[in-house]
Amino acid sequence: MPTLRSSVASILAVLSLVLLLHATATAAEPTQKPNVMFILADDMGYSDLGCYGGDIETPNLDNLAAGGLKFTNFYNTARCWPTRGALMTGYYAQQIHRDALPGLGGGGRGVRQKWARLLPDFLKPLGYRNYHSGKWHIDGKVLAAGFDRSLDMRNQGNFFSAKGNFLDDKPVTPAADESDYYATTAVADHAIDCLQEHADKYADQPFFHYVAFISPHFPLHALPEDIAKYRDDYLKGWDKMREERFARQQKLGLVNTTLSALEPDVGPPYAFPDAMKKLGPGEVNRPLPWTELTEEQRRFQATKMAIHAAMVDRMDQEIGRIVAQLKAMGAYENTLIFFASDNGASAEIMVRNGGHDPSAPMGSAASYLCLGPGFSSAANTPFRRHKTWVHEGGISTPLIVHWPAGIKAQGELRNTPGHVVDIVPTILETVGVEKPTAWEGEPIPPAPGKSLVPAFAADVTIDRDFLWWLHEGNRALRYGNWKLVAAKGDPWELYDLTVDRAESNNLAQQNPEKVQELEALWNQQLQSSIDLAK
């Protein structure tokens, strides 16, 4: 009979052989590139999601955050088209003609330089299929930018009609009966269709999918059943809502600051007096104390916020459908999902696209409503100001990052400052490709973005020189935890963001040398951007 020692030796030999064969087989298997999906909201405030302190039902995004990371200091550019240009290229929008520079122009109609390629051009050589569903607002046609399929939602004035949209760069013919059409659902329908086709025909290839919802951008259009969920929730007013959201944010550990004060003298960034007349006596264009509003005004404002909430809620529901499709096709575990907003909530009040019928139900196709500065301030809790400003309320966004196969951390916070210019280098490092140094013989200049990949593993601070903003005369620079900021025509303000992201305690007069130092850096970046954009 075999001895105990010989039996153990035999077992160990067998185990060694099994491990060797497993290691050999594993080494022979090709590394599977991750899929990447970037989901972008439009005009959504920092505190609108449940996982960022909000009161809106967003269980699908909350689940992604619980299974991944929440970045607390992530930034956009304060406006839709510069954010999208920066997101897809890795450059500040001013560097690529997608936001204005003094003496050079640029902006929503600006055309990028040939070297300012979009992300799909760098992913295609690795075999990636590239899909776009939703808002575009980048110069040029979508398929020419490297995407294989696209739904370009050019109709941004009526959530209940497909009229004016483009499919694969060709005009869409709307259905004769659009009674069941809603833009947010249509974005998800297209995204799911692309994913289903990918699973059927291209399962051996990875994909990049850019899902750009219009929600909750004005006009405030939502499905009646979604509005009904929130109809009376905001009659408590924006003051109380801000306090409640701020308390939840503190409990979640998202912020280390005071709550910003409402600014009753700061209204919409652009004045449209005629719109105020059309909207009637319920409209208010200043964030006045809630108790000073009439009963009619309180109901009107609360209903607008209910519609905004309904739009965010429906977007989350549609994201849930997209996630379900990823799971059904076996792609969920190895899909790196990002979620962010293109700017803060909007204080704008205007009437476009056929006008506003005051007799129509609020939130229906015949109405044209905007959130306005009262509830925009609440949506941007705890920060100050709104879309178009580069104070924290205009440029701060949630950033959720979820990737089960590549990120072990679950439900953790990441406090490093980051910016949409970081997304391209982050994705390129994740998929294992170096950005080329030239395009069709023309050099590609260095870009300002930094990879966020080190922060996937631990709460580290990404090393960078600074972050920089300029939009319609509003300007800012973040250097470490110092922030220099000024609204158009105003003097520089200086804030210590370690304790004051509410931008409540202006330290400029106490620290004139720091103001001068940071102003020099801001001007340096301005000149660098001008030189690159020429």
In this prediction, residue 105 carries a pLDDT of 86
Q: In 10 A of CB 260, how many CB atoms?
A: 23
What is the signed CA dihedral for 109, 520, 495, 457, rounded to 10 degrees?
70
- Report the DSSP pairing between strands 467-471 and 166-167: unpaired
In this prediction, residue 24 carries a pLDDT of 34
* Residues 247 and 493 sit within 8 Å (Cβ to Cβ): no
pLDDT tens per residue across span 493-511: 999 999 999 999 999 999 9
Contacts of 310 (CB under 8 A, 6+ apart): 222, 223, 226, 227, 229, 230, 363
Residue 512, pLDDT above cutoff 60: yes
In this prediction, residue 415 carries a pLDDT of 98
- Is the sign of the CA dihedral 241, 247, 252, 254 positive or negative? positive
In this prediction, residue 31 carries a pLDDT of 56
| Cis, bond preceding 216 (omega within 30 deg of 0) | yes
Residue 257, pLDDT above cutoff 70: yes
Alpha-carbon distance of 282 to 367, in angstroms, equals 14
Q: Is the pTM of this model over 0.85?
A: yes
Q: What mean pLDDT, rounded, does the chain reach?
A: 94
| Cis, bond preceding 264 (omega within 30 deg of 0) | no
* Residues 416 and 71 sit within 8 Å (Cβ to Cβ): yes
In this prediction, residue 111 carries a pLDDT of 96
Q: Domain 35-464 has what CATH class? A: alpha beta
Report, as an integer, the average pLDDT of 403-428: 98
Which residues partner with 151 through β-bridges? 133, 167
In this prediction, residue 354 carries a pLDDT of 79
pLDDT tens per residue across span 132-174: 999 999 999 999 999 999 999 999 999 999 999 999 999 999 9
* Residues 159 and 178 sit within 8 Å (Cβ to Cβ): no
DSSP characters for 67-133? TSEEEEEEE--SSHHHHHHHHHHSS-GGGGTSS-BTTTB-STT----TT---HHHHHGGGT-EEEEE
- Two tokens at 476? 């800012």
- Among residues 398, 395, 382, 422, the alpha carbon closest in space to that of 485 is found at 395
Contacts of 314 (CB under 8 A, 6+ apart): 182, 184, 185, 215, 222, 223, 226
Report, as an integer, the average pLDDT of 221-243: 98
pLDDT tens per residue across span 431-475: 999 999 999 999 999 999 999 999 999 999 999 999 999 999 999
Report, as an integer, the average pLDDT of 345-368: 95
In this prediction, residue 353 carries a pLDDT of 83
- Among residues 458, 462, 464, 487, the alpha carbon closest in space to that of 475 is found at 487
* Residues 372 and 285 sit within 8 Å (Cβ to Cβ): yes
CA distances from residue 114 to 136, 139, 243, 329 in whole angstroms, order as listed = 19, 12, 48, 36
Distance of CA 518 to the CA centre of its chain: 27
In this prediction, residue 2 carries a pLDDT of 44
Residue 29, pLDDT above cutoff 60: no
pLDDT tens per residue across span 9-18: 444 444 444 3
Domain positions in the chain? 35-464
In this prediction, residue 136 carries a pLDDT of 97
In this prediction, residue 234 carries a pLDDT of 98
- Report the DSSP pairing between strands 207-212 and 129-134: parallel
DSSP characters for 46-78? TT-SGGGT-SS--HHHHHHHHTSEEEEEEE--S
* Residues 123 and 38 sit within 8 Å (Cβ to Cβ): no
pLDDT tens per residue across span 318-354: 999 999 999 999 999 999 999 999 999 999 999 998 7
Residue 28, pLDDT above cutoff 80: no
pLDDT tens per residue across span 31-57: 589 999 999 999 999 999 999 999 999
